[in-house]
């Protein structure tokens, strides 16, 4: 049974500082007790001290790595991660702003749907069976059933007025199918 909830909150550019989202992540950290948590888009995350490895493209952000997220994810062994906080730029405009802020050119491949798809494939590869992926964005796609994840929970956070809702999915990595 998928748990769904809707909780209004003020918007914040730092997703994990939005109170209902912060509480949801805290709940899964406390209940799952993951040993290895990673955050490939850490920015100013309130959870960076919980993570074993953090990454942000911007070298001014406090993180253990400053790589493109795909390269960061490729550094991990197969089935080695217990939990991932996956909060990439939500729109093409945000991707473009992130890259331009550090003086990097934006290429067409950076703004296509494959930007998310290639990173989700890497998340699938590195997640332990039973591991938790918490994904944030403007849609509820998460890492996805086709990548071997089961949807556990969806949190919808409306912000009112002209602001888009924030959507958070919590998924569990299923055991690989034995052939």
How do residues 25-54 score in pLDDT, each as one tens digit?
999 999 999 999 999 999 888 998 888 899
Q: Is residue 179 part of a domain?
A: no
Range of the structural domain that residue 32 is part of? 3-173
Whether 7 is covered by a domain: the verdict is: yes
pLDDT of residue 27: 97
Does residue 44 lie within any of the structural domains? yes
By CB atoms closer than 10 A (0-12, 13-18, 19+), residue 166 is buried
29 within some domain: yes
Q: Is residue 51 part of a domain?
A: yes
Share above pLDDT 70 across residues of the chain, in percent, rounded to a whole number: 88
Residue 8 lies in a domain: yes
Q: Whole-structure pTM over 0.85, yes or no?
A: yes
> Are 72 and 55 within 8 A, CB to CB?
yes
Nearest partner of 66 among 25, 101, 31, 111, judged by Cα = 101
Instruction: Report the b/e string of 120-136 with b at 16+ CB within 10 A.
Output: bebbbbbbbeebbbbbb
92 part of a folded domain: yes
The helix (H) or strand (E) run that includes residue 155 is strand 149-157
DSSP one-letter code for 129: E
**Is residue 35 situated within a structural domain?**
yes
Overall number of domains in the chain: 1
Model confidence pLDDT, tens digit, residues 110-157: 656 677 789 999 999 999 999 999 999 999 999 999 999 999 999 999
Token representation of residue 83:
């939990």
CATH number at residue 52: 3.40.50.150
Q: Which two tokens stand for residue 107?
A: 């290429």
């Amino acid at each position: 049974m998928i748990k769904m909830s809707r909780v209004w909150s003020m918007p914040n550019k730092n997703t994990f500082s939005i109170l209902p989202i912060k509480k949801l992540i805290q709940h899964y950290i406390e209940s799952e007790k993951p040993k290895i948590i990673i955050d490939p888009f850490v920015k100013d995350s309130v959870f960076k001290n919980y993570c074993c490895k953090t990454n942000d493209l911007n070298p001014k952000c406090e993180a253990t790595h400053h790589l493109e997220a795909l390269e960061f994810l490729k550094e991990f062994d197969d089935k080695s991660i217990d939990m991932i906080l996956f909060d990439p730029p939500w729109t093409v405009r945000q991707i473009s702003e992130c890259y331009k802020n550090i003086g990097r050119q934006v290429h067409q491949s950076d703004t296509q749907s494959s930007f998310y798809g290639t990173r989700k494939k890497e998340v699938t590869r590195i997640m332990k069976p039973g591991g938790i992926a918490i994904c944030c964005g403007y849609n509820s796609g998460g890492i996805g059933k086709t990548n071997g994840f089961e949807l556990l929970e969806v949190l919808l956070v409306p912000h009112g007025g002209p602001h888009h809702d924030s959507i958070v999915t919590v998924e569990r990595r299923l055991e690989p199918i034995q052939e």
